[in-house]
Structure 1
């Protein structure tokens, strides 16, 4: 059972707690309490083993393809967290004996996992346990663990097996060759793993320090080695009130690390250097290393983002801190060759692959809050141009056609071909997204546009950004199909964001975003022609831009963009959606778990029903309102309102990406109470009471969406055609929200209450923003009246 009220004093609304242990519901806390630093992610499995546990340790970018019939995925590294503990010769488990005062907590502020309880053995002996763990933000390669066992009543014999266990897999799939193992001086353990296809070396080192009653104990232990495993056994006899302490420090390094040279790589040097690094950590000890880690979190994260929320519902502030925490631990800010997985680094779901989730739901946070990281994420897409161009050629197109699922940048498309069971035929269902869900290409172009407008980073655009936009627009020009009968270009046989509709024609989202992509390319072409003709010349030779410009102009003008219907202003999601049969969706709308519709229908049947998986047409309004298309009458406020009320009753929110879009749009159209309910429900995707929603990992896009809803929805921060607009509409029970965003290279501090907007330019550089129809220039500090009368008359 989860409890969010355990944080007191300085840690109020910082603590996520599990206050009742169940070996049948392990995955939830393993995922939502996972630790990481962007370089690696460690699932927060218990130290002692259980049947239904999932032990995961991932390092970003170490993708491997285990066999010809598999797709590449992040391999599950050797486990260093398991401790086989025996009490008086019997296996320690919370399924045995009696447990009292159990609590497992993730402190979001310090990024430390703590678990404590009192336990009575089957023989009636009482002991107290305390486990602590962190993955360092100060040193990306370091994992720290600590254990305390105190005998409360009787003499007790304790035995502990601890080391490195490489007998791990990805759901049964093995990614590593058998590697060399060694124990140095009965003190330092080293194990080597090498991926079977990508040939990446992983070097893990670990060591232990034992104390009894505060005094360092002898390091004598039994040394063991088995297939893919090396460990030590420690034994202690405790008297009543004796306390055993163990510190375990581990380092993880790989040959894919950015600092490892591509030429002249030497595994032995990596082994030696990583071992020396661990030895230097040992001299400092757990407490000092943890303090450095805690200081790094305060300095790099909490001070930088400067977030505070005063709400009548404490859960709101905790949920937003949870979002900031996981946005940090999931993001490989250290290396531009790496992206963010849909389940982050917290589980095996989606195999560590990156989707459109990044550009639409996660990247905006970094663009506005940490532009350097945003640039790194966009560089990942730039490095992916090679794979995108290859995919376009393989499908008979030109330009860059981005993979629906992306792993290592040059891998190209890595979407699996088959998925869940078809409940009608009993066969595997075909996964079509990798073939025909193509809007990701223009989603990435939108990410470049948003980054350029918010940051003003011309160097990025000159060296990378323009090329991405031009080449993606080139793809769309080759992708459009001419309909001679209707004298227009169309986009047929696609999947839009609503993945319950396959092989449909003229998905509104896909068509409008392709149109945006081509129009954006034309604008950039015209801009460079005036401002940087030499760069345009260079890119023109590489991408045939003169010829492409005329094609974009011709095809964008004739591309079919579904118009709002005259009778109700609803934009057809695709050519047939509005003609499909309607059924009573009540039981699916009220479901406790997602995708229950698949228990009654297979994909072909769902394709024939007027039902939507997630926000599709609705997200179009939110995105295009930020662009130079903002004044297009087809995405006006009235049309947005009509489409919200039409599509929301038909949307099951069977993707964690859906709720946040509907929440933002609901707030925009004045449905504040509904907006907050949708926001709360999106927070509960991972933090809610259902104990199996996160078994395969956290929902990375949903977590990014929590922040989006608060800042871009309730606080009203928006990019609108190159301008910063601020139109807050806070939930009724929010008293104050503070945060920092970056605009055109300058941090801007905001404080918003129901009646005032306070804006501070940190560098005292003048900038302009709009709020409720009025334009303000701020070069220092400004306060804006948000009283109802002022807003009503604006």
Structure 2
């Protein structure tokens, strides 16, 4: 399939659209989105098109449209749009003649640029260049620059630009209209308020022109949910016009504005924009690029020497988006499944964070990882409310989380059933409960890698103990087996609903309870005062004996004679059908062209890694024979219809020595957003998959694991890679790994303390540098 995605070999920092196709707008709006963790902005063009989705989001500003819908990130009034007319003809690349077209996202600097020559239907020739950024240096600031040049005679130009609040989330309008102001005849400001959560949004914008103001006629307009200015001017042949549009966004949800009156926020926003205007677009862009280098690229870099240059681009692309989407500035917020790049999944947080994205931050930006886990701590009230509503104790984390006080935010109804024609009920919010142990797993992984005792004592212990308390109350006694079961759940494989004893759920619940028992017994000896404090809060003196009794009797699915671990009580008895044609289809979910979910529920078909994810996360529990037997059984039955799945399979394949298969899966995973399917990313990028690209590289080919608190480094490079250089942080030590086909060199760059690790069964201690032979 021909696409316009171009990955130039001469640079690993550029994503390019090499020709314009209006049918592919959604793809580029997502993969070229801009942001800084505070705000995210889809890469819509300045001019409007029929298929565009013009989204701007600010993290944490959730709102509920009405009682029938769940809360979602609202689409803010648009600041990007500019209506440009030349001799009364609107800029529209579906009309006239385009040449020399290029749109590029510079991953290193965060700059989105677009250039082309356009001949209007009326015959005027012009060149255009657009540049845009969302500042990584100043979280509230964004900038645009537009250059227009006449190539054939004098032309009349009309520009309409300002703030457009006539935006919706697929039809749902989340804002009440506020005040509009024009300050000093140049600074436009509009306030809006979310209808249910009552969050004030203040947007301010200003334009600067390169030609004298006397040559420009202008008129301010204030209409329903809009404030904008009309500009009229004339350009001579060969004359160039530059327009700089600088804007700021502030909200009453921002930490810095807590308790402030709206008028104070408005004044702060205007003052900041005036300061930005004095610096100008170019200086602001340079400062933002410098912040990208300082905050992202300089920290724990990854360099791949590969025969395929796209591998390095994929890593840079993943890291760029991980920082665009992550609200590092505020621990009351977390990462949405589509980041801040689209309306998919409504901006909600899933288990994707703990299992697929948190590891990147834990090992490279531990301060950000801590903030993401503090979000879970702040959400304990909602987790308690969910558990209590279901008749359980402790903390049952929501399957989908939004604002920290919202609790469960999973929609109840989803896509149509192709057989019944009715909406399908989304059971995940009710019975996909492994999220609770996933959160505990994320806490434990962070503490093991970082050694953050303060977090552990103030928040981490409580999360693990509280989630274990939930699991103990969730277990159901079975008289026939004389075991505790976990019935009526959905595991990671969401094609199997209402199953009993899902292996992933049962194993992780047991691990969660065992971890809590270990904490209780450790604190009993080392910190009895802290234990007493936690016990008073969580009633641990009563719960601890229950843990001891129930964990010993919790049913854990064991490998059968073929060493296959049953995914649940009935999976292995279900019908098997040929899946090759579905697995080879470049479109996801084509299985449901032929079957509905009820039918798939009764077949040995797995949506995404389930048992294999369990083996990947808890490899110490399973022998090599069991790992390989389950790989051979489940991999052919796994559709990878979730973007979460491929990275797990790639890393596990590397562990099993299937290096080239692992690399094939790596390439397939990197193509989810960057590949030839031009509709895969319409609703936003695949956040967990991007975290998975880092996982495949560092955990898979780099061989890094934390096993029971011990660091293991077992690298294995694919044939296409001559060298892999990456860094991680381990207990405040920055470790740089250089991997070739022959050796691993581990360098302790800051030498906070000696670090002990294992590699290929041997133990090493690195003070400054250690070389390990891989032959």
Q: TM-score range with shorter-chain normalisation?
A: over 0.9
Query: What's the offset of the Cα at 1:358?
Result: 0.2
Query: Is 1:144 the counterpart of 2:132 in the alignment?
Result: no
Query: What's the offset of the Cα at 1:687?
Result: 0.3
In 1: Cα distance, 2:745 partner to 2:450 partner: 21
Unaligned 5+ segments in structure 2 are none
- Contact 2:215–2:233, Cα closer than 8 Å, also in 1: no
| 1:5 paired residue number | 7
Match of 2:123, SS state, is coil
| 1:384 paired residue number | 379
Query: What's the offset of the Cα at 1:220?
Result: 4.7
| 1:790 paired residue number | none
In 2: Cα distance, 1:353 partner to 1:427 partner: 25
| 2:43 paired residue number | 44
- Contact 2:217–2:233, Cα closer than 8 Å, also in 1: no
- Contact 1:209–1:216, Cα closer than 8 Å, also in 2: no
* CA-to-aligned-CA distance 1:518-568 (integer Å, 9 cap, x gap): 0000111111112111100100111111221111111111111000011x1
In 1: Cα distance, 2:227 partner to 2:658 partner: 59
| 1:401 paired residue number | 396
| 2:706 paired residue number | 719
- Please give the residue correspondences for 1:219-618 in structure 2 after superposition, counting only pairs within 5 Å: 220-262=217-259, 265-566=260-561, 568-618=562-612
* CA-to-aligned-CA distance 1:267-323 (integer Å, 9 cap, x gap): 000001110000010000000000000101111111112221111000000000001
Query: Is 1:651 the counterpart of 2:638 in the alignment?
Result: yes
| 2:176 paired residue number | 177
Query: Is 1:779 the counterpart of 2:773 in the alignment?
Result: no
In 1: Cα distance, 2:350 partner to 2:94 partner: 39
- Contact 2:89–2:120, Cα closer than 8 Å, also in 1: no
TM-score, with length taken from structure 1: 0.96
- Contact 2:9–2:309, Cα closer than 8 Å, also in 1: no
Query: What's the offset of the Cα at 1:784?
Result: 1.7
* CA-to-aligned-CA distance 1:452-477 (integer Å, 9 cap, x gap): 10011000010000000000000000
Query: What's the offset of the Cα at 1:601?
Result: 1.1
Match of 2:690, SS state, is helix
Query: Is 1:746 the counterpart of 2:721 in the alignment?
Result: no
| 1:791 paired residue number | none
* CA-to-aligned-CA distance 1:109-163 (integer Å, 9 cap, x gap): 1110000011111122211100000000000000110000111122111111000
Q: Structure 1 segments of 4 or more deviating over 2 A?
A: 1-8, 215-220
In 2: Cα distance, 1:390 partner to 1:691 partner: 41
| 2:649 paired residue number | 662
- Contact 1:497–1:614, Cα closer than 8 Å, also in 2: yes
In 1: Cα distance, 2:387 partner to 2:302 partner: 43
Query: What's the offset of the Cα at 1:218?
Result: 5.7
| 1:117 paired residue number | 116
* CA-to-aligned-CA distance 1:439-494 (integer Å, 9 cap, x gap): 00000000011011001100001000000000000000000000011100000000
- Contact 1:177–1:196, Cα closer than 8 Å, also in 2: yes
- Contact 1:7–1:14, Cα closer than 8 Å, also in 2: no
In 1: Cα distance, 2:8 partner to 2:44 partner: 21
Indicate the RMSD between aligned Cα atoms, in angstroms: 1.0
- Contact 2:87–2:157, Cα closer than 8 Å, also in 1: yes
Unaligned 5+ segments in structure 1 are 788-794
Query: What's the offset of the Cα at 1:721?
Result: 1.1
Match of 1:26, SS state, is helix
Query: Is 1:768 the counterpart of 2:736 in the alignment?
Result: no
In 1: Cα distance, 2:556 partner to 2:241 partner: 70
- Contact 1:14–1:108, Cα closer than 8 Å, also in 2: yes
| 2:104 paired residue number | 105
- Contact 1:2–1:16, Cα closer than 8 Å, also in 2: no
In 1: Cα distance, 2:225 partner to 2:351 partner: 37
